[in-house]
Amino acid sequence: MKAFKTTVTSAIALCLMMSSSMATAEITARMGTSLPDSHPQTLGAQYFSKLVNEKSDGEITIQVFSNGILGNDVNMTSMLQSGTLQFTVPSTATLASLNSDFSIISLPFQFSNEAQADEVLDGDVGKSLLDSLNNKGLSALAFWENGFRHITNSRRPINSLDDLKGLKIRTMQNDLYIGLFNGLNANAVPMPVTELFTALETHTVDGQENPYTVINTARFFEVQKYLSRTAHAYDALVLLASKPFMDSLNETQRQIIHEAAQEATTYQRAESRRLNNELLAELEKKMEINEVSEDERDRMGSSLQPLIERYQNELDSGLVEDFKQALATAKNRN
């Protein structure tokens, strides 16, 4: 009888140990970014990883792979859908291939400052766009920031619409951006950002368009002489999780991911804006920089009006109307 009690006690202890081990089983996830460690995209990813680890008491670890090591934005988004990667942060322009309504964020010359973008994207319009990815194998957690986009090239300063004529400008692999630069009389050349430096260095393309943070961290100033401050479009990023991965977590773990995502959003946007402001001064030492006048920006915007109207007509009419109203409200406040 004593031996039986000992056996039962040992079995119970073993079960408790196994239960405890299962409850604290560690989860390791991977997160890919397309830009270097010094870019706000990757800085945000690293901070998100840190928050998730802290909030889960080490139960969830997210390993960050930067600089396109795991592929470009299109590749990594596809990996999330298949469940072979857990997190990434693509541009909304990339996500337009999954839901064309994301193109509304990238329409040229609509946001005047970051505060306007925050108000629109953090409101009902932004939530509707994020939720639209749920049936695409993705769980969209928050909008992050890449910033206002400006044009660099190796041939001449762009002071007017006429200066863009004939320039080969690399764009994202996105129909809107291709149409945007063709509409400005340039020659749009779509390609992944991971291939861009070599293309600029070999003059396969004359120029490109990106926020200051990308221009600096990708060291485009080494192969580009001119930077023209066009602020022709605002570029948002989306913090994405793999839906198969999120579905594999329990409710507490999912809540940790969502809380960390919101805190990381505040940090990432602040870093993006701080660095964009600081880097402009740094880039002035490395490139010839000119500001495009409001009159010329208006002229560029007018030349793109047919493109803007065509896209608005192709998108969900309710979303377009809600976006216009939200933007008008944001402009009144900011």
In the prediction, which pLDDT does 12 show? 47
Residues near 279 by Cβ (< 8 Å), separated by ≥ 6?
A: 212, 213, 215, 216
Q: Within the chain, which residues score under 50 in pLDDT?
A: 2-23
pTM for the complete prediction?
Answer: 0.84
- Domain 27-333 belongs in CATH node 3.40.190.170: yes
Q: Which two tokens stand for residue 165?
A: 């004529």
List, for residues 65-99, the tens digit of each pLDDT value. 999 999 999 999 999 999 999 999 999 988 998 99
Domains of the chain, by residue range, sit at 27-333
**Distance (Å, whole) CA 269 – CA 43:** 10
Run of H or E residues at 230 = strand 226-242
- Give CA torsion, residues 133, 42, 188, 93, to 10 deg: 20
pLDDT digits (tens, 9 = 90+) for 106-128: 999 999 899 999 999 999 999 99
